[in-house]
Amino acid sequence: MLRSGHLKQWTRIVSYHMPHLSLPEVTGLATWSFGMVMTGSSSVTKISEFISRLNQEKSNTVRQRLKEWYQNADSKKGKKRSELDVTKCFVPLLKWILSMWKSEEKQLTLAMDATNIRQNFTVLSLHVLYQGCGIPVAWKIVKGTEKGSWKPHWRNLFQSLFDAIPSDWRVIVLADRGLYADWLFNDICALNWHPFLRINQQGTFQIKGEKEWRFLDTVVPQKDMSWSGIVTCFKTNPLDCTLLARWESNYKEPWLIITDLKPEQADILWYGLRIGIESSYRDIKSDGWQWHKTRLTDPKRAERLWLAIAVATLWTVTVGGSPVGVGFDPTKLVNPEGDINQQPPENSTSQLPANHVEKKATTAKKTSRHISCFLQGLLTIIADLLNGKAISLNGLFPEPRVLLNPATVNSS
């Protein structure tokens, strides 16, 4: 029985967006995610102690209920044993995000990456990028020592989200060079989404209409250079694509990005948004839910706990996000491989053309966020509940994508 009015309200919200879940499943998900936000932890011990005081129950009773929520069917008692199928929650989770998407631009940026928890787990995950943060929407957890290809796992994750995104939306998928594969590029295109994959400098490319094969490390041979063009990459396993290149003066090496978009449709600055998935891992671990301390050893149980982590993250990021004009500035390059403790950069219009709308705007001066929207949301939720306010998810306000100044790009 839920005694707390706030926990009851949160359960109703979760139930509305996860209508396929049974009552015990939705109650468990709401309790787990609410407890995470209140305790800043994904520890079953901490959350059960907190919820027991909130509901005036015995802590062991709450603990057993929370553990049963993520257990496999063969670990439960009774004849009507069942287990939560996390994969059926991916579409409702993404639809929940899109239902709050406050933007006239029908476009979504996803990032894919893998993270390890010691030798216990490897988590393959897809995140919606938003204001310098990331919200997990699909994931697969495997044993850290498990051998085998990740290819079928990634394919299943992409397929699991396809029905959630309207066909008239433009979806950009970012991935670091460690994940590049020609099948990945083609699979993303097959979904009518757009790959935006970083590649290594090793290898060759051929500019469309030319016969000469050039080395990739000659695209931008020195700093403060940019280039884009339609090419065939890799002589051995050729791939027809657009190649984007840029070498910032403060970077050790350039970015080389391949995409199916035409050069005039794409902006290499978008790759800087990938910092959001690094920030998301930090939120899931040290800054937020302390998941790196988990004692779970079963991947299936861990996948269910990640559902609660995703819902808790969605809540905090939604509350902490600001309307357009405040906070993270996508026009400023951010190194997605740099210090993951880096805060979102201060706003700057210095890289924009003189006639850009941002420079013409007469609206109020932008203010910079000094902490991430995740941490801002976490603090706001706790303060609001202490002040007796109802739980409110006003919406997600994505920053518009901004194009490079054409004068800075050499396009073929």
For the cut 80, the answer to whether the pLDDT of residue 124 exceeds it is yes
Whether the Cβ atoms of residue 69 and residue 25 lie closer than 8 Å to each other? yes
Say how far apart CA 196 and CA 260 lie, in whole Å.
8
The one-letter amino acid code at 142 reads V
Identify the pLDDT of residue 369: 63
Q: What is the pLDDT of residue 80?
A: 65
b (16+ CB within 10 A) / e for 155-188: eebbebbeebbeeeebbbbbbbeebbeeebbebb
pLDDT for residue 46:
97
> Token match 């287990």: residue?
83
pTM, rounded to two decimals:
0.86
Stronger pLDDT, 411 or 76, i.e. the higher one: 76
- On whether the CB atoms of residues 315 and 378 are closer than 8 A, the answer is no
Q: Which of 224-228, 269-273, 395-399 has the lowest mean pLDDT?
A: 395-399
Q: By percentage, how much of the chain surpasses pLDDT 70?
A: 84
Q: Is the pLDDT of residue 277 over 60?
A: yes
Sign of CA dihedral 370, 373, 377, 379: negative
Average pLDDT over residues 331-341: 44
Dump pLDDT digits (tens) for 207-258. Answer: 999 999 999 999 999 999 999 999 999 999 999 999 999 999 999 999 999 9
CATH 3.90.350 in the chain is located at 85-412
Q: Is the pLDDT of residue 339 over 70?
A: no
Q: What percent of the chain has pLDDT over 90?
A: 76
Q: Is the pLDDT of residue 328 over 70?
A: no
Query: Hey, which CATH number is domain 85-412, 1.10.150, 3.90.350, 3.30.1360, 3.30.1330?
Result: 3.90.350
pLDDT in tens, 16-62: 999 999 999 999 999 999 999 999 999 999 999 999 999 999 999 99
Mean pLDDT of the chain: 87
The beta strands (E) that lie in 133-220 are given as: 133-143, 170-175, 194-198, 204-207, 214-215
184-201 pLDDT, tens per residue? 999 999 999 999 999 999
pLDDT at 371: 86
